[in-house]
Amino acid sequence: MASQVDMLFFTLLAMSVAVVVVIAGLIVYFGYKYRRRPENLVADQIQGSMRLEIAWSVIPLLIAMGIFVWGARLYFEMASPPAQARDVYVVAKQWMWEFQHQDGMREINALHVPLGEPVRLTMVSQDMIHSFFVPAFRVKQDVLPQRYTTAWFQATQPGTYHLFCAEYCGTLHSGMVGDVVVMAPQDFQTWSSQGDAETPAEAGEHLFAQFGCINCHKADNSGRGPALAGVFGRTVTFADGTTTVADENYIRESILNPDAHVVKGYEPIMPSFQGQLNEDQLLQLLAYIKSLGAKQP
Amino acid sequence: MSAITLPRQDTYLNINYGIRSWLLTTDHKRIAILYLVSITLMFVIGGAAATMMRIELFTPASDLVDAATYNKLFTMHGIVMIFFFLVPSIPAILGNFILPLMLGARDLAFPRINLLSWYIYMLGAGVTLWALIAGGVDTGWTFYTPYSTASPTHVVAATVGVFIAGFSSILTGLNFIVTTHKLRAPGMTWFRLPLFVWSLYATSLILVLATPVLAITLVLVAVERLFHVGIFDPALGGDPLLYQHLFWFYSHPAVYIMVLPAMGVVSEIIPTFAHKGLFGYKVVAISSIAIAVLGFLVWGHHMFVSGMSLHAALMFSAFSYLVAIPSAIKVFNWTSSLYKGSISYDTPMLYALGFIGLFTIGGLTGLYLAALGVNVHVTDTYFIVAHFHYIMVGGSVMGYFGGLHYWWPKMTGRMYPEKWGRAAAIIIFIGFNATFFPQFILGFEGMPRRYAAYPPEFQFLNMLSSLGAVLLGIGYILPALYLIPSLWFGKQAGPNPWDATGLEWKTSSPPPANNFEKIPVVTTGPYHYPGKQDKVG
Ligand SMILES: [Cu+2]
Ligand SMILES: [Cu+2]
């Protein structure tokens, strides 16, 4: 991705250098040639030229549209992580970054990732708006309170890279920095097997039982709420006939504000869990529900 | 050297004396001078904050000031420079003075409202300055929620100050619109209007239509802080992205509030110093209106990484390219206006040419930011800081200084020392580039904006930038050192020192209180110079 972004950036750079050279060149050339001298005291009164006006409106417009399409395609690619990407859950708060890996490792202000494997970040803030920015990977995404945003990258060179908070978030904003450490896959394997922590999905499974979700959302669909296996990423239909794709933010809303959208065929009886779960736990529940999808045949 | 005394002549300056005659004046020219003094003061305050920031950024650690202070400095710099310098500078000072003269009018349509605008501005500035002095604000000039709801600093007072100043903008805009419609001299048709009038008209439309949205947004922030009503703060059930939409709905058009008037100034200076009509007059005039209209459709380009929907991002990116076209057209027309001209290089012309160069770079880098895939990398970095300073300082401030030097003889009746004028223009141009060009590279390399401390590998470029700022600062101080003495020692300007064509040059300098002995009758276009009529293409 970095090289693709740079390709567009340097194309724009070449183009703008050309434009600046032409404009500055013309100003200097006309400016010298038509400077006021005794033999050039009177200017020629040129009103303008429709042909030129059209030319220098239409040509830049066409070029601009080309850049627009190019930039938009990159942006779409940035918004679509590969399906097999490795999950990292991110909680941002004043003024630190917390990461939890799909295989259980947790870290603060450092993010270890394997070389060459796409990494998908599911991020949420506990307070202000922050922004996850790794310049070397050309990735930046605001991290919002009460709402998940996602981003992804794939490291192509081992090394340690800057992680910055790019959205001003208060006093120590400039201290909200960290390192992204890119390791060879086998080194990463060793690193990530040091811990014996639960994976987020396992932790989520425990929460699912502990908070009693399991009493209604029964696996065999015999409960008062729908079974959740395979729900992630699926289109769900609501009582009022509207539909949505069950993404991270839909799952979040269903836990915290279940009455907002009630699935067709079910009663609005689920209580809200607002205030009972912290951001970590919500992400773990999300990871669990996503893992149910993966187990589907 | 002794002061040169002019033969007694009735002017707006000597018609009466005393502080009351100024504070209760309804003469647009005197009100312009009131604005000149107060806005210059704000420029000094905003500049002082920038100076502190650049000194702090000379080294990577936050050692001169701590992070909290640094945050207050960039907030103060932004609020003061944008709301109290850039937005009002050209319209309220130069526009106020020159617009009625250009139209052949005796004053603005509503002279008392004009004075009221100045008092409102002063009140807004006073409240904001109080907030800044009483302990400061640390939200950035953007007041982004939820931080502005949570920040322990003087957010309410600062937003109230900006809110109040907004009414000054709205009233000035209304005044200009009505004046342009109603008070044009006989024969002054729309396509005989000088381009400065066209651009002030376009600016006024934005002032009147966009400022109320900012006002409402800031009120909502204050209400949320004071009464804990959830509007923007998600902890209270609000939506922080709603704030960003509302804020940029004003603040993107505000970019054009700041730059359109400067474009107008440049469109006046070039014909005067090339002794010829502006190439493509009508196209340039219409493009001002096009910018004003299209400028309302692009606000979302400030939010490409905020989590907005892909479709919205596509629309905002596409419209952002559209709004670039009328600006590009202007640049091509200004450049072509030099062709077969008879060009002299007095101080205003140096500023105008500098404007074209810097505005071109600012505009081109806007294309990078409008490209979605590139925006993701460079937004919220020094790239964007450099970009908008090229537009607002390289563009608007160059335009303002150009206009100030261009109309100074008209406003004061005196000339400034030309050599000093040119030297300052060149120093500002070099100092500006030295300060802000390195910031493009810093941004591409990934240095985020609003950082009190930064990793050491960014130090070299930051040092260059800070050294450039020293030069730029000297450049900005110089005009004060020769313009003020010119009030007493400058040589007499006469009605038309630049051999210019606008109606403002048909009356004496400084003009009499009622502007014209006799209202002129207009029979030609605005830039009617002698010379053979030629056609291109
Ligand atoms: Cu942050
Ligand atoms: Cu904008």
Q: What is the pLDDT of residues B360-386, one digit of tens each?
A: 999 999 999 999 999 999 999 999 999
Average pLDDT of the residues in B499-504: 93
The pair of three-digit structure tokens given for residue B379, joined into one six-digit string: 């937004």
Would B105 be classed as within a structural domain?
yes
One domain for residues A210 and A186:
no
Query: What count of residues does chain A have?
Result: 297
User: Which of B54 and A44 is assigned the larger pLDDT?
Assistant: B54
Q: How far A195 CA lies from chain B's nearest CA (Å)?
A: 31
Domain at A130, CATH number: 2.60.40.420
Q: What is the structure's pLDDT at B534?
A: 67
B318 Cα: distance to centroid of ligand 2 (angstroms): 13
Q: Which domain holds residue B112?
A: 26-506
DSSP string, B42-96: HHHHHHHHHHHHHHHTTSSS--SS-HHHHHHHHHHHHHIIIIIIIHHIIIIIIIH
Q: How far B361 CA lies from chain A's nearest CA (Å)?
A: 7
Are B505 and B495 contacting, i.e. CB atoms less than 8 angstroms apart? yes
Q: How many CA atoms lie within 13 A of A113 on its CB side?
A: 30
Are B445 and A135 contacting, i.e. CB atoms less than 8 angstroms apart? yes
Q: What is the structure's pLDDT at B302?
A: 94
Would B248 be classed as within a structural domain?
yes
In this complex, the residue of A34, A139, A168 whose CB is nearest that of residue B343 is A34
Q: What is the pLDDT of residues A233-275, one digit of tens each?
A: 888 888 888 888 888 899 998 898 888 888 888 888 888 888 8
Select the residue from B63, B151, B342 to test the A interface by mutation, using most A Cβ atoms within 10 A: B342
DSSP three-state, residue A147: strand
In this complex, the residue of B325, B376, B454 whose CB is nearest that of residue A60 is B325
Q: B536–A52: do the CB atoms touch at under 8 Å?
A: yes
Domain at B490, CATH number: 1.20.210.10
DSSP three-state, residue B414: strand
Q: What is the pLDDT of residues B265-288, one digit of tens each?
A: 999 999 999 999 999 999 999 999
Statement: residue B8 has pLDDT above 70: no
Q: How far B286 CA lies from chain A's nearest CA (Å)?
A: 12
Would A36 be classed as within a structural domain?
no
Q: B380–A71: do the CB atoms touch at under 8 Å?
A: no
CA gap A284, A202 in Å, rounded:
8
Q: B533–A45: do the CB atoms touch at under 8 Å?
A: yes
Q: What is the structure's pLDDT at B5?
A: 56
Percentage with pLDDT > 90 across chain B: 82
One domain for residues A183 and A239:
no
User: Is B373 in CB contact (< 8 Å) with chain A?
Assistant: yes
Q: Which domain holds residue A251?
A: 200-294
Q: What is the structure's pLDDT at A269?
A: 85
Would B55 be classed as within a structural domain?
yes
Q: Which residues of B touch A41 (CB under 8 A)?
A: 275, 342
Would A34 be classed as within a structural domain?
no
Would A31 be classed as within a structural domain?
no
Statement: residue B7 has pLDDT above 70: no
Statement: residue B454 has pLDDT above 80: yes
Average pLDDT of the residues in A41-62: 90
Would B249 be classed as within a structural domain?
yes
User: Which of A292 and B52 is assigned the larger pLDDT?
Assistant: B52
Q: B364–A44: do the CB atoms touch at under 8 Å?
A: no
Q: Where are the alpha helices (DSSP H) in chain A?
A: 2-33, 50-79, 185-192, 200-210, 213-216, 248-256, 279-295
CA gap A24, B378 in Å, rounded:
26
Would B524 be classed as within a structural domain?
no
Q: A48–B283: do the CB atoms touch at under 8 Å?
A: yes
Average pLDDT of the residues in B182-187: 95
Chain B residues 241-270 with CB within 8 Å of chain A: 241
> 10 Å Cβ neighbour count for B310?
12
Would A45 be classed as within a structural domain?
no
Provide the mean pLDDT of chain B: 93
A159 Cα: distance to centroid of ligand 2 (angstroms): 36
Average pLDDT of the residues in A104-120: 94
One domain for residues A165 and A215:
no
B265 Cα: distance to centroid of ligand 2 (angstroms): 22
Q: What is the structure's pLDDT at B325?
A: 95
DSSP three-state, residue B320: helix
Q: What is the structure's pLDDT at B536?
A: 58
Q: Which residues are CB-contacts of B371 (< 8 A; sequence separation ≥ 6)?
A: A8, A12, A67, A68, A70, A71, A74, B317
Amino acid at B229: V
User: Which of A156 and A264 is assigned the larger pLDDT?
Assistant: A156
Statement: residue B445 has pLDDT above 90: yes
Q: What is the structure's pLDDT at A212?
A: 86
Statement: residue B4 has pLDDT above 60: no
One domain for residues A75 and A98:
no
B256 Cα: distance to centroid of ligand 2 (angstroms): 9
Q: A71–B240: do the CB atoms touch at under 8 Å?
A: no
User: Which of B454 and B528 is assigned the larger pLDDT?
Assistant: B454
Would A7 be classed as within a structural domain?
yes
Statement: residue B105 has pLDDT above 60: yes
Would A28 be classed as within a structural domain?
no
The contacts found for B150-157 with CB under 8 angstroms, 24 or more apart, are: B150/A127, B150/A128, B150/A170, B150/B233, B151/A170, B153/B72, B155/B221, B155/B222, B155/B225, B156/B222, B156/B225, B156/B226, B157/B127, B157/B128, B157/B130, B157/B131
Would A39 be classed as within a structural domain?
no
Average pLDDT of the residues in B119-129: 96
One domain for residues A142 and A240:
no
In this complex, the residue of A5, A131, A171 whose CB is nearest that of residue B373 is A5
User: Is B152 in CB contact (< 8 Å) with chain A?
Assistant: no
Q: What is the pLDDT of residues B390-439, one digit of tens each?
A: 999 999 999 999 999 999 999 999 999 999 999 999 999 999 999 999 99
Amino acid at B520: P
Statement: residue A295 has pLDDT above 70: no
State how far the alpha carbon of B96 is from the alpha carbons of B28, B250, B398, B508, in Å. Answer: 6, 23, 19, 17
Are B124 and B82 contacting, i.e. CB atoms less than 8 angstroms apart? no
Statement: residue B322 has pLDDT above 70: yes
Q: What is the structure's pLDDT at B1?
A: 43
Q: A42–B140: do the CB atoms touch at under 8 Å?
A: no
Question: Range with the lowest mean pLDDT among A20-34, A38-52, A63-77, B508-522?
Answer: A38-52
Q: What is the structure's pLDDT at A297?
A: 39
Q: Which residue of B has its CA nearest to A133?
A: B377
Q: What is the structure's pLDDT at B343?
A: 95
One domain for residues A186 and A251:
no
Q: How far B499 CA lies from chain A's nearest CA (Å)?
A: 12
Average pLDDT of the residues in B157-166: 93
Q: Which residues surround ligand 1, an ion (CB under 5 A)?
A: A 130, 165, 169, 176
Please tell me the number of the ligand nearest to residue A130's CA: 1
State how far the alpha carbon of A154 is from the alpha carbons of A90, A121, B110, B446, in Å. Answer: 17, 11, 62, 18
| Confidence band, pLDDT 50/70/90 cuts, at residue A223 | confident
CA gap B445, B347 in Å, rounded:
37
| Confidence band, pLDDT 50/70/90 cuts, at residue B230 | confident
One domain for residues A182 and A234:
no
Q: How far B3 CA lies from chain A's nearest CA (Å)?
A: 32
Statement: residue A293 has pLDDT above 80: no
Please tell me the number of the ligand nearest to residue B302's CA: 2
Average pLDDT of the residues in A25-50: 91
Would B67 be classed as within a structural domain?
yes
State how far the alpha carbon of A132 is from the alpha carbons of A120, A179, B111, B455, in Å. Answer: 12, 12, 52, 17
CA gap B491, B413 in Å, rounded:
8
CA gap B128, B363 in Å, rounded:
31
Statement: residue B2 has pLDDT above 60: no
Q: B67–A175: do the CB atoms touch at under 8 Å?
A: yes
Total tally of structural domains belonging to chain B: 1
Average pLDDT of the residues in B57-76: 93
Statement: residue B496 has pLDDT above 50: yes
One domain for residues A164 and A219:
no
Are B408 and B483 contacting, i.e. CB atoms less than 8 angstroms apart? yes
Q: A23–B313: do the CB atoms touch at under 8 Å?
A: no
One domain for residues A75 and A96:
no
CA gap B445, B161 in Å, rounded:
37
Statement: residue B226 has pLDDT above 90: no
The pair of three-digit structure tokens given for residue A212, joined into one six-digit string: 């009693």
The angle at the Cα of B252, spanning B319 to B436, to the nearest 5 degrees, equals 105
Are B205 and B177 contacting, i.e. CB atoms less than 8 angstroms apart? yes
Would B12 be classed as within a structural domain?
no
Element (H, E) at A80: none
Q: A175–B453: do the CB atoms touch at under 8 Å?
A: yes
Element (H, E) at A101: strand A96-101
Q: What is the ipTM of this complex?
A: 0.92
Statement: residue B468 has pLDDT above 80: yes
Q: Which residues of B touch A40 (CB under 8 A)?
A: 342
Is the peptide bond preceding residue B417 cis, with omega within 30 degrees of 0? no
Percentage with pLDDT > 70 across chain B: 98
DSSP string, B168-199: HHHHHHHHHHHHHHH-PPTT--GGGS-HHHHH
Q: What is the structure's pLDDT at A294?
A: 54
Question: Range with the lowest mean pLDDT among B65-74, B238-247, B382-391?
Answer: B238-247
Q: How far A140 CA lies from chain B's nearest CA (Å)?
A: 6
Q: What is the pLDDT of residues B331-366, one digit of tens each?
A: 999 999 999 999 999 999 999 999 999 999 999 999
Total tally of structural domains belonging to chain A: 3
Select the residue from A10, A36, A46, A128 to test the B interface by mutation, using most B Cβ atoms within 10 A: A46
A53 Cα: distance to centroid of ligand 2 (angstroms): 25
A·B CB contacts under 8 A: 290
Select the residue from A131, A140, A141 to test the B interface by mutation, using most B Cβ atoms within 10 A: A140
Element (H, E) at B128: helix B111-133
Q: Which residues of A touch B341 (CB under 8 A)?
A: 30, 34, 43-44
Q: What is the structure's pLDDT at B133?
A: 86
Would A114 be classed as within a structural domain?
yes
Q: B445–A135: do the CB atoms touch at under 8 Å?
A: yes
- Tokens 């908008």 map to which residue? B388
